Copies of this chain bind each other. A is one copy, B any other.
């Protein structure tokens, strides 16, 4: 089965592409490589020294004998996208190819507009390309749990059955996203839902939680296959960022009280969830939504877990509650469902002491590459 991974040079995309290749899928990677360019422009870098995509793929072939086709270009360029699809003829498209940082989208007007146009147009182009030439191709699109926000009722998977004034209907779950980035994903979800309805496209929206960890079976095979690991204030996410902070004796930066609860998963589960979605495609015309996470933690509790694990390794770990740069509830109800992927057979890798140890050791190994100036959040959600 031929699978095109759009955004296959990124953190989730790279791990997914190798996993699928390892599992026998015929994999292509489409990526504009612009994320590396954004890092350069912001003056930030991954903790881990990632090699150019071409070298990564050569090494993968040397190690496994498996080829991954590479298509370098931007999906907002429809001609490029269309030519790539005609060349590769995918049966499934995994779409990670979006600007994925909330703080990046909140830097200023230009970054907000860029994020929404880039993400919405890229996805619209994919929908049109599928409709025009590959109507049976299954779109597996990365959404985010952040689309839901923190409603005071249970979060269902994409839809909710509402009884109202004596009548009943199952409707798209109401969305309350918390950044212009998260909004772009909500826009995508609405657009994809509509395209499924009018054109009979088959799509799965994976509303993913915060991903942690860095090693998968495949990226751990060789130093040249190493995955990126972000710790900076723009691209770094909780847990990964905390472990790196612990490794360099920087206080763990908890925004506000840390009472914010979020959904999390190990990157080894990310790649399995995508594989499950591909192996069990949505029906034609169906917009299917899976909440892709395995556990939930408050940010404050995560920091405490990292502190404890760090202390056990002899690291001196402090926790610092910063003024929250975001506008979000710091105490709230949070009960999201995630049964769809479990029903397909997902066996979660829950967060463990050994994972924390491994991540802390990994961070320690590369700690000399850390630029301390890039750790604190500089982007504020509020009017200055």
Chain A residues within 8 Å of B, Cβ to Cβ: 78, 109, 112-113, 116-117, 120-121, 124-125, 128, 131, 135, 151-154, 160, 162-165, 167-169, 171-180, 183, 186-187, 190-191, 193-194, 197-200, 327, 333, 381-383
Task: Provide the main secondary structure of the chain A interface.
Answer: mixed
> 7 pairs across A/B with beta carbons < 8 Å?
A112-B128, A113-B121, A117-B117, A162-B164, A183-B191, A187-B190, A198-B381
Q: Are B175 and A190 in contact (CB under 8 A)?
A: yes
Contacts of A187 on B, CB cut-off 8 Å?
116, 120, 183, 186-187, 190
Contacts of A152 on B, CB cut-off 8 Å?
167-169
Q: Are A124 and B113 in contact (CB under 8 A)?
A: yes
Report A161 CB to chain B, min CB distance, Å. Answer: 8
Please measure, in the bound complex, the distance between the C-alpha atom of A272 and the C-alpha atom of B133, giving whole angstroms: 48
Report A333 CB to chain B, min CB distance, Å. Answer: 7
Contacts of A333 on B, CB cut-off 8 Å?
167
Please measure, in the bound complex, the distance between the C-alpha atom of A147 and the C-alpha atom of B94, giving whole angstroms: 29
Given A121-B113, A128-B112, A164-B160, residue A194 in contact with residue B172 (CB < 8 A): no
Q: Are A191 and B200 in contact (CB under 8 A)?
A: no
Q: Are A153 and B165 in contact (CB under 8 A)?
A: yes
Q: Are B112 and A116 in contact (CB under 8 A)?
A: no
Of all chain B residues, the one with the shortest Cβ separation from A156 is B164
Contacts of A116 on B, CB cut-off 8 Å?
120-121, 124, 187, 191
Report A184 CB to chain B, min CB distance, Å. Answer: 9
Report A160 CB to chain B, min CB distance, Å. Answer: 7
Contacts of A178 on B, CB cut-off 8 Å?
194
Given A153-B164, A174-B173, residue A383 in contact with residue B124 (CB < 8 A): no
